[in-house]
Amino acid sequence: MGSTSTIASTAQPPRVNLLGLSRRQMEQFFLELGEKPFRARQVLQWIHHAGVCEIERMTNLGKALRDRLQHIAEVRPPEIVSQHDSQDGTRKWAIRVDGGGLVETVLIPEGARATLCVSSQVGCALDCSFCSTGKQGFERDLTAAEIIGQLWLAIKSYDAFCSGKGRVVTNVVMMGMGEPLLNFDNVVAAMDLMLEDLAYGISKRRVTLSTSGVVPALDRLAEVSEVSLAVSLHAPNDALRSQLVPINRKYPIAMLLQSCRNYIAAQSDSKRVVTVEYTLLAGVNDQPEHARELAALLRDFPCKINLIPFNTFPDSGYRRPSGNAVSRFWQVLVDAGYIVTVRTTRGDDIDAACGQLVGQVVDRTRRSERHRAAVQTRAMQTG
């Protein structure tokens, strides 16, 4: 009994990572400490405007409060393990999160804009047949700090907090590893910080969440968020989509499109559209008849279409269509009156394109980690 209470009194509770707290959560945190809400505003600005993570440097908090905070809180970004720069200016980071998992973040500069592609989970459970992240399986959700930490690290890596260099990240897409709607609360908290003026102040139109179609979560998102929406369709009918995107068996196309319509209808500005993502797989979904069927399916649906020629990875079993096949597909949709863009492959030389994320580098790391774990287990069993 005595020893239990000794342990209980000496064990330190884990420190709260302030990096991942939305404005409301930060205000609540300071309220519970008996502090005024303006403390939350000061700390948000230190972290997300000034890029400061040492509490002792937050000088306008007063010494007593800083001392107190240092015992119960921290500002801890995830750790960069490697950084690669592509010849086209794309920069990719491999980021290690608590527990050893790796995720990737990619910054894609295009003229005046620079888009950061952010991961939401280590791996993904949804197993879309053409996605290397899906092949990896699901490991865990990222925390809000690990999600917003990717934006924080990107800005830090250009030394661009308070530097007068202007914005190094103008747009964010939740299109890295993982299905963002399956990590709902953490993704929403991180996106709140992206939009929050006391943090990054990015406009809601410039933050995009891409989903493979988790309908109930999308319905919930409509109630709490105003970010732009992209939906991974990839097929013009349920039979084909269910093969490529297994979650379609649970939430088929008609249900998904209705949920997207509701999302758009819930927005305060009327002119929003959904980005329909369509990965083109040679000989599978890239024929003119698929394009015609897609054009018919999306008639009256408020959207623009983004075609993504398949990005290859080892043992994928799929091929990228020829340039001609992509043009033919594009033309059918344009003739039908759609706004259609073709996503150019960026950062190809560093494996930074859609669906290639993590691919080889993590596969190798994970495999060797799994191997080490297996060896250790065997050693323990025999030893």
Does 329 engage in binding with ligand SAH (CB under 6 A)? no
Shortest distance in whole angstroms from residue 217 CB to ligand SAH:
12
Question: Catalytic residue at 27?
Answer: no
Nearest to 355 by CA among 126, 158, 28, 72: 126
Site membership for ligand SF4, residue 43 (CB under 6 A)? no
42/162 Cα distance (integer angstroms): 15
* 373 sits in which H/E element: helix 359-382
Nearer to ligand SAH, 104 or 179 (CB): 179
Q: Helices 23-32 and 184-195 sit at what angle, rounded to 10 degrees? A: 100
Q: What is the DSSP string of 143-169?
A: PHHHHHHHHHHHHHHTT-TTSSS--S-
**Amino acid identity, position 8:** A
Do 236 and 299 touch, CB atoms closer than 8 A?
A: no
Contact pick of 134, 149, 309, 347 for ligand SF4 (by CB under 6 A) = 134
Q: Find the binder of ligand SF4 among 131, 144, 202, 350 (CB under 6 A).
A: 131
* Nearest position to ligand SF4, beta carbon: 134
In the shown chain, the binding pattern of residues 214 to 253 toward ligand SAH, with x for contact by CB under 6 A and - for none, equals ------------------x---------------------
Instruction: Please answer whether residues 148 and 76 qualify as being in contact, where contact means their C-beta atoms are separated by less than 8 angstroms.
Output: no
Q: Which does 20 bind (CB under 5 to 8 A by kind): ligand SAH, ligand SF4, none?
A: none
Does 180 contact ligand SF4 by CB under 6 A?
A: no
Q: Which of residues 93-122 bind ligand SF4 (CB under 6 A)?
A: none
Q: What is the DSSP string of 166-203?
A: --S--EEEE-SSS-GGGGHHHHHHHHHHHH-TTTT---
CA-based angle 150:156:160, to the nearest 5? 125
CB of 122 to ligand SAH, least distance (A): 13
Q: Does 191 bind ligand SAH (CB under 6 A)?
A: no
Q: And the tokens for 189?
A: 């908290």
Binding-site partner at residue 127 among ligand SF4, ligand SAH, none, CB < 5 to 8 Å by type? ligand SF4
* Partner that binds at residue 359, options ligand SF4, ligand SAH, none, CB closer than 5 to 8 Å by kind: none
Residues 167-186 contacting ligand SAH, CB under 6 A:
175, 179
Report yes or no: 215 and 248 within 8 Å, Cβ to Cβ: no
Residues paired with 120 in a beta bridge = none
Active site residue 354: yes
Pick from 55, 73, 126, 187 the residue near ligand SF4 by CB under 6 A.
126
Assigned token pair, 255: 């249900």
Residues 6+ apart with CB under 8 A from 205: 228, 272
Touching ligand SAH, residues 129-168 (CB under 6 A): 130-131
Which residue among 212, 248, 285, 311 contacts ligand SF4 (CB under 6 A)?
212
Residues that bind ligand SF4 in the complex, under the rule CB under 6 A: 124, 126-128, 131, 133-134, 178-179, 212, 232
List the catalytic residues: 104, 354
Residues that bind ligand SAH in the complex, under the rule CB under 6 A: 128, 130-131, 175, 179, 210-212, 232, 277, 279, 308, 310-311, 354-355
